[in-house]
Amino acid sequence: MGEQGESRAVELELHGKSRIFDVDDPILPDWVEEKALSSGDFPYKKKMKSSDYMKELKSLQIELVKVQFWLQATGKRIMSIFEGRDAAGKGGAIFATSSHMNPRLARVVALSKPNDREAGQWYFQRYVDQFPTSGEFVLFDRSWYNRAGVEPVMGFCTPEQYEAFLHQAPQMEKVIDHEAILFFKFYLDIGREMQLKRFHDRRHDPRKVWKLSSMDIAALDKWDDYSKKRDRMLKDTHTDYAPWTVVHANDKRRARLNLIRHILTTLDYTGKDRDAIGEIDGKILGSGPAFLK
C-alpha cells in the first residue's frame, strides 16, 4: 500500500484501452509483462545475453581507462549529461561508464532540489559550478534539462521560465563548445509498459525501493505531457555543436554498450582500439529528434 495505507492505483489509457495499475500490488499485471520489452517500438524481441554483455562491457571499460590517461596527459575535459524519463536507466548507464575509472578524475553529479539561495541564482549557475576542470570527466545524472521536462510538467516553473530556458540552453551550450569541453548529451528513451515494469520492480525489491519516489507515482498519468516536453526539448536544443544522442533503452545492456561506444568512437584518444570498441547499433542509438520518429 501507499503512504498512510492509501492505494496508489491509477487508471491509465494505453493503446485505446483503460488499464488499472497499482504499483503496490506484488503481482505485476500480465499486460505490463507481455508488452514491456516491445513497448515504444523497441526493435528487439529479446534482451541481450548477460554473458555477451559482460564480455563486451569489459572491452569498452578498458578503453575508457585509456581515455582517462589521455585526459590527464592532454588536460582535456569531458562532460556528459544523462536525461530520460524516471526509470530510463540513467544511473546504471553512468555506473557502467564510470565504475572502472579513477574516481578522483571521473565525477558523478546528481544535484538535489535547489536550496533558497540557489533558487535565486541564474538557473544554470549551480550546474556551471560542477563543470570539469583540466583532465576531468564529469557525468551528470539529470542536468539543467530538468527545466525542459519535469519542472514544466509538474508545475515547478512558470511558462515564461520554461520558454526562456529553451532559448537560453543552446546559447549556454555554445559557451561549452567555445571552451573546448568535449560535451555529450544522452536521452535514454523507454516505452510506457517498460517504465511501469521498472517502477514495480523498484517497489517490490528492498534493494531498490528507495529509488521509487512520490514524484514517480504522481507522474504516472502524465506520460503524454512528458512526451510533448521531450519532443520540444529535442527539437529546440539539438544543435550541431551540442547534439542530442537518443538511445532506445528498454534493454539496459544494449543501451549501455552503445552509449559507451558512441563516446569512445567520438574521442581521438591515445591507444584507441577500434576493434575492441566495435560498431554502434543503429537500431539502438541515433542522433536527434528524428531518431524517435
In a domain, 1, yes or no: no
| Entry pTM | 0.95
Q: pLDDT band for position 77 (50/70/90)?
A: very high
In a domain, 186, yes or no: yes
In a domain, 130, yes or no: yes
In a domain, 180, yes or no: yes
In a domain, 31, yes or no: no
d(CA 254, CA 3): 35
In a domain, 55, yes or no: yes
Residue ranges in the chain assigned as alpha helix (H): 30-35, 50-74, 90-98, 116-119, 125-128, 150-154, 159-178, 192-204, 214-218, 223-237, 252-266, 274-277
C-beta atoms surrounding 253 within 10 Å: 20
3-state SS class at 208: coil
In a domain, 26, yes or no: no
Q: Among residues of the chain, what percentage have pLDDT more than 70?
A: 98
* CATH code of the domain covering residue 153: 3.40.50.300
In a domain, 150, yes or no: yes
pLDDT tens string 147-158: 999 999 999 999
pLDDT at 219: 86
Residue 218: domain span: 39-292
Q: pLDDT band for position 119 (50/70/90)?
A: very high
Specify the number of domains making up the chain: 1
> Residue 1: pLDDT above 50?
no
- The rounded mean pLDDT for the chain is 95
d(CA 140, CA 183): 11
Q: pLDDT band for position 139 (50/70/90)?
A: very high
